[in-house]
Amino acid sequence: MQYQGPQMLEFQEMGDERGHLVVCEGEGRDIPFDIKRIFYIYGSDRGIVRGQHANKETEFVIINVAGSSKIKVLDRKGNEAVFILNRPRTGIYIPRMIWKEMYDFSEDSVLLCLASEHYNADEYIRNYEDFLKIVRENDEETD
Ligand code: TYD
């Protein structure tokens, strides 16, 4: 699996009369990378905006396993998209160097994040102007 940009992923639901079960296997099966880290975000009020960063190294898949939220993504070319996450079997894949913001959390929102790399604060770009600068510099190098 090789995706150019942010992309919705639909996972198979293997439920039966006892309830639902969704499996996310790494290494290109359901998740396009080897999962090295998981974390989850909950207890954020509706007015809160989280994220507001881009990652130089890490790819993510983000799933609202409970509740709902929205995620706005902005790629290096300035393309902006908003994804609504409101189903445990739907995730969004976020490649490297995508500016992302999560917001509009429902009270019961639990946002599960699967990451391709261990945590390293140095690979986070937390300033939007810095993100644009790095993107422009990289584009000039590849021109
Ligand atoms: P932050 O990246 O600001 O959260 P969000 O993207 O949801 O807004 O992370 C909050 C704090 O947690 C920050 O001090 C860094 C720390 N943190 C880790 O130590 N390890 C991790 O894997 C993550 C995602 C965050």
Distance, CA 65 to ligand 1 centroid (Å)? 19
On whether the pTM is more than 0.85, the answer is yes
- Written as tens digits, the pLDDT of the chain (143 aa) is 668 899 999 999 998 999 999 999 999 999 999 999 999 999 999 999 999 999 999 999 999 999 999 999 999 888 999 999 999 999 999 999 999 999 999 999 999 999 999 999 999 999 999 999 999 888 887 76
Q: How far, in Å, CA of 50 to CA of 88, rounded?
A: 20
Q: What is the DSSP letter of 22?
A: B
User: Which residues contact ligand 1 via a Cβ below 6 A?
Assistant: 37, 39, 41, 50-51, 119
> 53 catalytic, yes or no?
yes
User: Which residues lie below 8 Å from residue 9, measured CB to CB, with a gap of 6+?
Assistant: 30, 31, 61, 90, 91, 92, 93
Distance, CA 38 to ligand 1 centroid (Å)? 11
Q: Which of 114, 119, 127 to mutate to test the pocket of ligand 1 (most atoms within 8 A of CB)?
A: 119
The residue assigned the tokens 């609202």 is 64
Residue of 22, 26, 40, 53 marked active site? 53
